[in-house]
Structure 1
Amino acid sequence: MSVFRTIVAAIDFSETSDEALRVACELASSQGSTLHLLHVIPDARQQAWSVEAPGLDFSALQQESVADAERILAARTLPATSPVAHVVRKVVSGLPAAREIDQYAASQGADLIVVGTHGYGPVRRLVLGSVADQVVRMAPCPVLMVPHHALRASSPAWAVPHEKEMTAI
């Protein structure tokens, strides 16, 4: 029996989310899980600047943003080394991104959320917050935070599992 039947991988098209995607694919492949690739875009109608921009068609702007993100997500290739039987690609819009990720995971009955961590440092994290940290606080299921490969090189060996350990999960 699979521990993680449904895995949601939050994808923001960065190198860090590529790392998270690789780990999510390994897990989904080994568990026979359904993998949801989720990308969140801000809703143009919820942006502060939208109040001061009369004459713009925000619905059309939002539709164009969603269509662009869907094209990019559809073109995202999965690692050939970890074939996943069932993949769902989804773009949602809203703010904050962490809330949208958690709501999507809850709506899908996710058993695991996989997110990448950028490692901006404590000051920037304190001022801006971290989407990954916010996801952890509100998540309806366990969250696996995958650090950027540059962070893994500088972390103590005990802090980050090695790839061999990850494949044994």
Structure 2
Amino acid sequence: MRILETQSLLWPDEAACEAFARSFAKALCADAEPLNASIELHGQLGAGKTSLVRHLLRALGVEGRIKSPSYAVMESYDLSDSAPQVGEVSHFDFYRFSDPREWEDAGFRDIFAAPGLKLSEWPEKAVGVLPTADLQIWLEVQEDGSRSVRLLAGSAWAVDVLHRLGAKP
């Protein structure tokens, strides 16, 4: 991925992650155009990838249970009513992904080609089949339990999102 812009943040606690997710949701919904973006979430087990996705989905209007796609590989959410610019959100967890044939068999190529938001945890497990991300979010647990966060924009769309978040190069 060619990095066009970066931003670093520190989340001292879960509330900071939730506040970021609310701001991020607003930034994603700022365009009138339908969204077609891929975001990768990187970090070790327990870094907060799934928590961030849950907070983001709540901020975008998802009600009810938000399941982790750890075993199913993908969970989808239709946000046509609550966030029409976003439309369909596909949340992937590639932690147990091991067979590239599964990519074709499951129709993931079609999902990534279609409009909507694609959120991928453990993208390094799908190297070679996963398209280039617009935005990478790297989470790292610090000794005090806080999270250092790096946002890496790889497309003009992602640069715009970082600017909406108040990010500076």
* TM, length-normalised to structure 1: 0.33
Could you say which structure has the higher helix fraction?
Answer: 1
Q: Which has the higher contact order (CA 8 A, sep 6+)?
A: 2
* TM, length-normalised to structure 2: 0.33
Larger Rg: 1
